[in-house]
Amino acid sequence: MAKLWRNWPLHVMLIPGVILIFIFSYVPLAGIVMAFQKFIPSQGWFSSPWIGLRNFEYMLELPDIERIIRNTLTISAMKIVAGQVLPIGIAILLNELKNRIVKRGVQTLIYLPHFLSWVLLGGILIDILSTEGGLVNQFLGWFGVQPIFFLGSNDWFPFVLVFSDVWKEFGFSTIVYLAAITSIDPSLYEAAYVDGGGKFKQVIHVTLPGMLPIIVLVATLSLGNVLNAGFEQVFNLYSPQVYESGDIIDTRVYRIGLVDVQYGLATAVGLFKSVVSLVLVGISYYLAYRLVNYRIF
Amino acid sequence: MEYPSLSRKLFIGVNYIFLITLALVCILPLVHIFALSLSAPSVAAAGMVKFFPVGLNFNAYQHILSQKEFLDAFFVSVQRLVLGTSLSMALTILTAYPLSKESKNFKSRSYYAWYFVVTIFISGGLIPWYMTIRMLGMIDSLWALVLPGAVAVFNIILLLNFFRNLPRELEESAFIDGAGHFRIMLRIFIPISMPGIATVCLFTMVNHWNAWFDGLILMNRNENYPLQTYLQTVVMQQDFSVMAQSSLTGMQEISNRTVKSAQIFLGSLPILLVYPFLQRYFVKGIVLGSVKG
């Protein structure tokens, strides 16, 4: 009883958080019913007519359903691979910098883009990728390359997305890998050196194995993000011209729901994505737990 | 003493050059935009500006700062930043403290923990979320930008892990001296967790400053747009098909480039200003929050 008395403040502290999470996370969860309704805003979730799985049938009949799934998967797969390989390499190279001032300076600059919004970076990209005096096309022009309309060409657009995403995030992603490298026991390097292993061999046989748990962890957890191809980025860079190669599930849901006001259909597409994502996240956490004993809290 | 071989020296040199180039690649686009914003419109349009202003002038900034829409949006952003960050920090600490207790001391802990963590994995999606806020009558209200994201579960987990790493004895001795949970939280946990709290606080501030999508869908009237949403509508929403063919020669189009550059730069300025403080904390915060055994 004394124990219980002592703990009541803990329950009190949790009240505001519990209420807000209920309103803004659990109520929308209940709002999934819209996926099975012909939703009419004035009638709400309780009185809108039920139409069973009709919205999902509409979803399958969308002429571009295959396209948005394909785009989502290819764009996010490329981002996941490039967004992990590059930071691992850069972290290893950064670790070789002995001059502290240069190292710190490089780190400061490569972390910065992570903190700028896609609105600002989108604005910058639109300017530097422009065919009319954009920095990139000017640079390419020195090598005799004709101006490329990066943001308007279906051949280029997905690569612009991947490249700019990696550009924004690679620096920040090196942080965890650098931390992993610093936690490697220095005596392992000495042992490798005594055994005649040069710098390169030390990287292969000491650094990389030392980083392996965190590499495996990031890789498995990224599996849950396969359907998140980067809404904020795509939204700020795409245009109808590049829907063919750049329209993703999230941008399509936005247009169906908030531009075309087909709430039920948009919810159904969103639900489809959520369910698949949930399965993937489940698998990824299970793998992360089994492989490197990771637990979220 | 180990003497580096020739190939080792070569590698070191190339490595320095490579990483410094890479660092420049990260920052030069921003420098370019800044240079553009300070250049004369005609030179900017002709593509003659690289990384230094040509025909230095502040007309673009004068123009922007005289626009009511920009100032309104800036003010909305400041409001949401101040209100949102203080609210969010209070909620994060209040939620993280009880959840950092051992289950054996706080029996309901795991129920609460699951209640919060589940929301990371399962969400209703964009449309039901939007509809909830709309049905609450929060459209066009500042609260719509502040309340829905106020309980950030990731931040709670980060702070919770920080709290858990504090020595238990502190808390136990305070208990024996007759202090309650509220007093222990305020007098012991918060003061000694300042690095963790500062990390979360800076992240929250940056997120509030950078958020634009909620403003776009939850604010109907333009005067309620926060700055990033305002910039999204003026900088981004343009017709590419027109831009591609026409040679932009009209006077108005020309000054557009310097004005847009100035808007982008002003939008990133607060981030650049807090960045030195941010950098001191986030490395610690990230490592703390993500790599734990």
How confident is the model over A138-152, as pLDDT tens digits? 889 899 888 899 998
Answer whether residue B278 is part of any domain: yes
User: Is the CB of residue A157 less than 8 Å from the CB of residue B265?
Assistant: no
- Is the minimum CB–CB distance between B207 and chain A shorter than 8 Å? no
- Kindly list the residues from chain A whose CB atom is less than 8 angstroms away from the CB atom of residue B64: none
Select the residue from A19, A25, A128 to test the B interface by mutation, using most B Cβ atoms within 10 A: A25
- Kindly list the residues from chain A whose CB atom is less than 8 angstroms away from the CB atom of residue B127: 31, 34, 253, 257-258, 263, 266-267, 270
State both tokens at A271. Answer: 């639900």
What is the C-alpha separation between A179 and A121, in angstroms, rounded? Answer: 28
- Is the minimum CB–CB distance between B51 and chain A shorter than 8 Å? no
What is the C-alpha separation between A16 and A21, in angstroms, rounded? Answer: 9
The B residues from 235 to 254 touching A (CB cutoff 8 Å) are 235-236, 238-241, 243-244, 247-248
A241, B36: Cβ pair inside 8 Å?
no
User: Is the CB of residue A138 less than 8 Å from the CB of residue A128?
Assistant: no
Residue in A with minimal Cα distance to B164: A297
pTM, 2 dp: 0.88
One DSSP character per residue, chain A reads -HHHHHHHHHHHHHHHHHHHHIIIIIHHHHGGGGGGB---TTTHHHHSPB-TTHHHHHHHH-TTHHHHHHHHHHHHHHHHHHHHHHHHHHHHHHHT---HHHHHHHHHHHHGGGGS-HHHHHHHHHHHT-TTT-HHHHHHHTTTPPP--GGG-TTTHHHHHHHHHHHHHHHHHHHHHHHHHHTS-HHHHHHHHHTT--HHHHIIIIIHHHHHHHHHHHHHHHHTTTT---HHHHHHH--GGGHHHH--HHHHHHIIIIIS--HHHHHHHHHHHHHHHHHHHHHHHHHHHHHH-----
Q: Which of B35, B39, B30, B32 is nearest to B57 (CA)?
A: B39
Answer whether residue B86 is part of any domain: yes
Domain with residue B215: its CATH number is 1.10.3720.10
The pair phi, psi for residue B124, each rounded to 5°, is -75, -15
> For the segment A3-35, what is each residue's pLDDT rounded down to a tens digit?
545 788 999 999 999 999 999 999 999 999 999
Select the residue from A10, A190, A262, A285 to test the B interface by mutation, using most B Cβ atoms within 10 A: A10
* pLDDT recorded at residue A92: 93
Residue in B with minimal Cα distance to A120: B264
* Domain carrying residue A226: 75-248
* pLDDT recorded at residue B2: 59
Q: Which of B236, B222, B273, B37 is nearest to A120 (CA)?
A: B236
What is the C-alpha separation between A159 and A75, in angstroms, rounded? Answer: 8
* pLDDT recorded at residue A296: 64
- Is the minimum CB–CB distance between B36 and chain A shorter than 8 Å? yes
Answer whether residue B246 is part of any domain: yes
Domain with residue A97: its CATH number is 1.10.3720.10
- Candidate from A34, A113, A296 with C-beta closest to B26: A113
Q: b/e string for B227-241 if b means 16 or more Cβ within 10 A?
A: bbbbbbbbbbeeebe
Answer whether residue B190 is part of any domain: yes
Q: Which of B35, B272, B56 is nearest to A127 (CA)?
A: B35
- Is the minimum CB–CB distance between A261 and chain B shorter than 8 Å? no
- Is the minimum CB–CB distance between B114 and chain A shorter than 8 Å? no
* Domain carrying residue B177: 67-290
* pLDDT recorded at residue A5: 52
Looking at chain A, the whole-number percentage of residues with pLDDT higher than 90 is 59
Over residues A197-201, the mean pLDDT reads 81
A10, B122: Cβ pair inside 8 Å?
no
B181, A152: Cβ pair inside 8 Å?
no
The pair phi, psi for residue A50, each rounded to 5°, is -80, 140
Residue in A with minimal Cα distance to B148: A24
Per the model's pLDDT, the better-predicted residue between B250 and A42 turns out to be: A42
- Kindly list the residues from chain B whose CB atom is less than 8 angstroms away from the CB atom of residue A106: 19-20, 22-23
- Can you tell me the ipTM of this complex? 0.88
What is the number of structural domains in chain A? 1
3-class secondary structure per residue, B202-262: HHHHHHHHHCCHHHHHHCCCHHHCCHHHHHHHHHHCCCHHHHHHCCCCCHHHHHHHHHHHH
* pLDDT recorded at residue B249: 41
What is the number of structural domains in chain B? 1
List, for chain B, all residue ranges whose pLDDT scores fall below the cut of 50: 1, 239-254, 290-293
Answer whether residue A282 is part of any domain: no
Angle, helices A208-223 vs A65-95, to 10°: value is 160
Q: Which of A221, A246, A211, A209 is nearest to A231 (CA)?
A: A246
State both tokens at A24. Answer: 């803004």
Residue in A with minimal Cα distance to B29: A124
Residue in B with minimal Cα distance to A6: B180
- Kindly list the residues from chain A whose CB atom is less than 8 angstroms away from the CB atom of residue B25: 167
* pLDDT recorded at residue B77: 95
* pLDDT recorded at residue A114: 93
Residue in A with minimal Cα distance to B51: A135
**CA angle, corner A200, sides to A162 and A195, nearest 5?**
150
